Amino acid sequence: MNRSKISSVDVISAILLISISVAWRYTVWASHLVNLSNVELITVSTIVAGLILRSRLSWIIPLAAVALSDAFIPNNATTMLYVWGAWLMIGAGNQMITSRKTLAASVPASSGKRVASVAALVILLALAAFSGRIFSPIGRLLSPVSLIVLGISALVAFVALRRAFPRLSLGLGLGIGSTLFFFAVTNLGVWLEGMYHMYPMTAQGLLTCYMRGLPFLERQMRATIILVPSAMVAGEAVVRSLSRFSIRSRAAQKI
């Protein structure tokens, strides 16, 4: 798909991704689904837009989604700048990376490498889905240990997928990187703005702020690892269907 031209498929897909992200964020807030508060679809939508749509609209999706949802959800004004800024930089960064990265649909690889790639991804998805139960006996160390295991597994899956499924590999890498970046920026904002008066303005206070945020990062990382590959597969199917429908419509108009 040509990035220099925004097609009707791009516009429809962008509106769909923004709508889904806003609806999910509002539903979680309105229904008081505390356990799902760190499961957000904005990162997923941004990556799908960048890698599947491959248009100039991709950078605006996270900012539009968070702006529209914040119109209905009361948020702390002191950290809003950090949240919005993080999403804006994530959208722009993802577009910059995907626009410069040449992605083949797949590079010829042996069946053994393809099986190994899929196996690595399945193991990663299983760990993301069940790591909370697997490591629950270790108590307070659950989040750090889970993040370390997920990080190692994600690195293995990223390397294994690079040759046979480069787009999926890049999407996984961007998803994890975006989640880490958002965590770093927003927690820095909490510390700098002195929210809740919990963290002193010292190096120890900043470290404590990040350490206490690890459980939230762990849940968000698990969701990203599961949702990004799933959404990329679904997004590819939707875009292909929309493209076929658009081609048929143009052909019918010519008759």
Residue-range domain boundaries for the chain: 8-254
- For residue range 165-186, what is the model confidence (pLDDT) as tens digits? 888 888 899 999 999 999 999 9
Rounded-to-integer distance, Cα 170 and Cα 101, Å: 9
The candidate with the shortest Cα–Cα distance to 13, out of 68, 63, 69, 54, is 54
User: In sequence order, which residues have a C-beta less than 8 Å from that of residue 166 and are 6 or more positions away?
Assistant: 103, 104, 106, 107
Query: Looking at residue 199, what is its pLDDT?
Result: 87
Query: Looking at residue 106, what is its pLDDT?
Result: 46
Rounded-to-integer distance, Cα 36 and Cα 24, Å: 10
How far apart, in Å, do the first and last CA atoms of the chain sit?
25
Average pLDDT, the chain: 80
Query: Looking at residue 203, what is its pLDDT?
Result: 92
Query: Looking at residue 110, what is its pLDDT?
Result: 63
Proportion of the chain above pLDDT 70, given as a percent: 80
Residue whose structure tokens are 């964020």: 25
Give the pLDDT mean for 194-206.
Answer: 84
- 144 burial (CB, 10 Å; 0-12 / 13-18 / 19+) is middle
Query: Looking at residue 54, what is its pLDDT?
Result: 63
Query: Looking at residue 188, what is its pLDDT?
Result: 92
Residue 166 one-letter amino acid: P
Q: Note whether 210 and 157 are within 8 A (CB).
A: no
Give the pLDDT mean for 64-75.
Answer: 85
Q: Note whether 91 and 59 are within 8 A (CB).
A: yes
Q: Note whether 222 and 38 are within 8 A (CB).
A: no
Total-model pTM: 0.82
Cβ count within 10 A of residue 212 = 14
Q: Does residue 105 surpass a pLDDT of 60? A: no
Q: Does residue 44 surpass a pLDDT of 60? A: yes
Query: Looking at residue 63, what is its pLDDT?
Result: 86
Query: Looking at residue 104, what is its pLDDT?
Result: 46
3-state helix, strand, coil in the chain (%, to 5): 80, 0, 20
Q: Note whether 215 and 108 are within 8 A (CB).
A: no
Proportion of the chain above pLDDT 90, given as a percent: 15
